[in-house]
Amino acid sequence: MGENTIRKAVFPAAGLGTRFLPATKAQPKEMLPLVDKPLIQYVVEETLASGIEQIIIVTGRGKNAIEDHFDISYELEHLLQERGKLKELEEIRRISELTQFAYVRQKKALGLGHAVLVARDWVDDEPFAVLLGDDIIDADVPCLRQMIEVFERYRAPVVGVMPIDGPEISRFGVIRAEPVESDVYRISDMVEKPRPEEAPSNLAIIGRYILTPDIFVELERTQPDIRGEIQLTDAMRALARQRPFYGYRFKGRRYDCGDKLGFLQATVEFALKHADISQDFRRYLKNLQLEE
C-alpha cells in the first residue's frame, strides 16, 4: 500500500449527549465505556487501522476527559509499575502512544456542519474523513478503509450508508441515488431527517464520511436549520448537485451507541467477543430466566 490518499480525520465531539442524560451530565458521551474501552477509542482505532494517523478532535466545554485519555498519565503508570500490574501498564501506555492528536474547540453548539467547519484550517486543502463517535462499526475490514478504497476509485466524496426500513429512517440523513456498482451509489440528492413518507429511499447516512475541501465553501453558505444548527447534510446536498458524490453501503454491523438501546446491544455483542469475559458472560446470559 502506497501513501494513503486520505491523511486526516475530523472527529466532531462537542455534542451534549442529551439522549444519554443523566450519564452525560458531567462526562463526555464519547467516554462511555463499551465493556472496557471508551467509545471514542474504538473510532480512533478504526481510523488508525484504515491508515490515517492525523486526528483532530472538535471538542467543547466539559470534554477534557477525552484529551486526558489519550495523554500520558505518569501517576497511573507509576502506580501500576509499583504494583506489578504490567499488562494494564502496557495497555495504558499503548493508548497514549496511539497517535498525535490535535484539538480545537467548537464554542457553541451550532451543529455538525459547523463542527466540521471549525476544523477547516487544520484540514487545509486536501480530502479528509469525518467520523461520528456515536456510530460504532464492527467489520472485518474497517469501515473507513472500505470507504477509502471507493474514494480512490472515484476520486469524489463518499458517505457511508445502510438500509433502514420503517419510521426509524427519520433519524438520519437520507440519500436519493442510483446504483453504479455493487454497494456503490451515485447521489443526486439528500435530505436531513425527513418524515418517513418523504424519505427519498431507505438508504440512511451513517457517521462515516470522506469529503473534499470544496465542502467548506458550501458549509460557509449553509443556513442554520430551525433549531439553529448548520447541517452537514445540507452542505453535502448542495455539493452533490454540482459534482459526483457517492454513497457506499459498507460491510459490517453498525451500533448506534448514542442511543440507550443501541448502546446496550453493542455492550452485549462486544462482551460476547471479549477475550477476558466472553465465556462467563455467555453462561450468564444463557441462565437468565427472562419473563415475557
Residues that bind ligand G1P (CB under 6 A): 112, 132, 134-135, 172-173, 192, 204-207, 231-233
Q: How far is the CB of 152 from ligand G1P (least distance, A)?
A: 24
Minimum CB distance to ligand G1P smaller for 41 or for 231: 231
User: Phi/psi at 111 (nearest 5 deg)?
Assistant: 105, 170
At CA 132, angle to CA 130 and CA 135, rounded to 5? 135
CB of 192 to ligand G1P, least distance (A): 5
- What is the rounded radius of gyration, in angstroms, for the C-alpha atoms of the chain? 20
Which CB atom, from 30 or from 192, has the smaller least distance to ligand G1P?
192
What span, in angstroms and rounded, lies between the C-alpha atoms of 218 and 236?
Answer: 8
C-beta of 89: minimal distance to ligand G1P in Å?
A: 35
Q: Nine-digit cell at 4?
A: 494513503
d(CA 31, CA 38): 5
In the complex, the smallest distance separating the C-beta of residue 128 from ligand G1P, rounded to whole angstroms, is 17
Least Å distance, CB 290 to ligand G1P, is 30
- Establish whether the linkage from the previous residue to 22 is cis, with ω within 30° of 0: yes
Residue 43 Cβ, how far from ligand G1P at the closest point, in Å? 12
Q: Which is nearer to ligand G1P, 117 or 205 (CB)?
A: 205
Q: Give 26-32's long-range contacts (Cβ < 8 A, gap of 24+).
A: 26/62, 27/62, 27/65, 28/62, 28/63, 28/65, 28/66, 29/133, 29/134, 29/258, 30/63, 30/66, 30/133, 31/65, 31/66, 31/69, 32/257, 32/263
**Residue nearest ligand G1P (C-beta atom):** 173
Nearer to ligand G1P, 192 or 218 (CB): 192
- Residue 277 class from Cβ within 10 Å (0-12 exposed, 13-18 middle, 19+ buried)? middle
- Alpha helices for 53-197 (secondary structure H): 64-69, 74-82, 86-96, 112-118, 120-123, 143-154
Smaller CB distance to ligand G1P: residue 17 or 142? 17
If the CB atoms of residues 157 and 173 are measured against ligand G1P, the closer one turns out to be 173
Residue 162, CA distances (Å) to 93, 235, 247, 262 in order: 36, 20, 9, 15
Q: CB 206 → ligand G1P: shortest distance, Å?
A: 5
Cβ closest to ligand G1P, residue 52 vs residue 257 = 257
Cβ proximity to ligand G1P, 55 vs 137, nearer residue: 137
Least distance to ligand G1P, CB of residue 110, Å: 13
